[in-house]
Amino acid sequence: MNNQFQLHPEIASTFAFDVDLLYFFVVAVSVICMALICVLIFVFAMKYRRRTEDQQAESQTHGHLGLEITWSAIPLVLMLIMFAWGVWLFFRVYQIPDGAMEYYVVGKQWMWHVQHPTGQREINEMHVPINTPVKLTMASEDVIHSFFIPAFRVKNDVIPGRYTSLTFEATKPGKYHLFCAEYCGTEHSMMVGSVYAMEPEDYQNWLGGGVADETPEEAGARLFSQLNCDTCHSDQANARGPSLNGKFGTEEVLASGERILIDEAYIRESIVNPRIRLVAGYPSIMPTYQGQITETNIFNLISYIKTLPSTEGGAQ
Ligand code: HEC
Ligand SMILES: [Cu+2]
């Protein structure tokens, strides 16, 4: 199935068909307009050709308001249809549904690391259940990559120093191509893999068959003490850093007076570049962990910090 050359990838996600429909509309409009122009060039060249050596033009037409309006208005309407349709689809494709399963994906020259919500890890393979919304949060260890699953019609760049995401819901069990779609060095063309969409029961069995790794939260909890985060971040009254309990999704007041939402991107920045945004009332003593921690481990720390419950009667 996957080795044959295919002009058209399979339709295997909820919005794949709608993406195709818009694509065919754009192609059809372009082909029809191009054909019209080609035919008219040919017809006019024949119809108005010079018939004798000394033939003079009878009259020249300069401008025609009706025509001008027609050939401006029709393309405008067609373009607006494409635009509105595109915007509608864009929001559908990029909206993250509630309760989506969150996978972490790290691009690295030249492979994809995938981590399941339950902790299973894969390289260049990704198993997902069908009929379940999936969200990928993606990071890069080195250069710009791009995560592309043609059968699901999803693609997004994976950028160093920043999180990007993708969501999809597979609809058809099968094995699909996974590509890096951004030239990223010598072995870019080898940065390929497979996505296995499975019936939910099969997915559960697959999970059960693998080695039971620690979950992202467990790994994060382990790192939190291994990297000594807990020596500064705790609920104790004399803690040197702000307590992180129950902080995820809330707003932080910075030393600059600015307010910022504590989300994945902010936590990542706090770990690799703590000096950029200081929390109000705290000295700049947090060491940077840049280069000492992998993107996967940053994901794990974030998962752990997300689960920290707010504690009443704490220092904060
Ligand atoms: C030497 C003490 C120290 C260590 C070790 C430390 N931090 Fe911090 N951290 C701080 C201080 C102080 C702040 C507040 C000032 C700032 O923003 O840099 C802070 C801020 C933060 C923030 C932003 C919190 C907020 O409320 O906005 C996060 C997230 C964070 N640290 C995570 C970590 C993680 C994860 C580790 C371990 C990998 C860690 N820190 C290790 C002292 C520390
Ligand atoms: Cu790549």
CATH of the domain at 146: 2.60.40.420
Phi and psi at residue 72, in whole multiples of 5°? -95, -40
What is the number of domains present in the chain? 2
Residues 130, 266, single domain; the answer is no
Specify the ligand 1 atom closest to the Cα of 243. Answer: 26
Q: What is the b/e burial string over 235-244, where b = at least 16 CB atoms within 10 angstroms of the residue's CB?
A: eeeebebbbb
Ligand closest to the CA atom of residue 109 = 2
Q: Are residues 24 and 131 in the same domain?
A: yes
Q: Do residues 208 and 220 share a domain?
A: no
Q: Tell which atom from ligand 1 comes closest to the C-alpha of 266.
A: 29
pLDDT at residue 59, rounded to an integer? 77
CA–centroid distance, residue 114 to ligand 2 (Å): 14
Contact between residue 145 and residue 158 where contact means Cβ atoms under 8 Å apart: yes
- Flag whether 54 is in a domain: no
pLDDT confidence of residue 312? 53
Both ends of the chain: CA-CA distance in Å?
A: 58
Nearest to 116 by CA among 104, 125, 124: 104
Atom of ligand 1 nearest to the CA of 231: 5
Within a domain: 46:
no
Q: Whose CA is nearest to atom 21 of ligand 1?
A: 270
Same domain flag for 117 and 173: yes
Which residue's CA is the nearest one to ligand 1's atom 34? Answer: 229
Ligand in nearest proximity to the CA of 255: 1
Question: Quick check: CB of 220 below 6 Å from ligand 1?
Answer: no
* Closest atom of ligand 1 relative to the 244 alpha carbon: 26
Q: Judge whether 70 lies within some domain.
A: no
Q: In angstroms, rounded to a whole number, what is the distance separating the alpha carbons of residues 133 and 245?
A: 28
The pLDDT value recorded for residue 1 is 46
Phi and psi torsions of 112, nearest 5°: -110, 130
Q: What pLDDT sits at residue 292?
A: 87
Each of the 316 residues of the chain gets a pLDDT tens digit; together they read 445 666 778 899 999 999 999 999 999 999 999 999 999 999 999 998 888 888 877 777 788 899 999 989 999 999 999 999 999 999 988 888 888 999 999 999 999 999 998 888 899 999 999 999 999 999 999 999 999 999 999 999 999 989 999 999 999 999 999 999 999 999 999 999 999 999 999 998 888 876 667 888 899 999 999 998 988 998 887 888 888 988 898 998 998 889 999 999 999 999 998 988 889 888 888 999 988 888 889 999 999 999 888 765 444 3
Q: What is the Cα–Cα distance from 288 to 270, expressed in whole angstroms?
A: 8
Same domain flag for 194 and 258: no
Q: Is 85 in the pocket of ligand 1 (CB under 6 A)?
A: no
Q: Are both 111 and 231 inside the same structural domain?
A: no
With respect to residue 62, please indicate whether it lies within any of the assigned structural domains: no
- Bridge-based pairing of strands 111-115 and 145-149 is unpaired
Q: What is the pLDDT of residue 314?
A: 42
CB atoms under 10 Å from CB of 180, counted, come to: 25
- 201 with 232, same domain: the answer is no
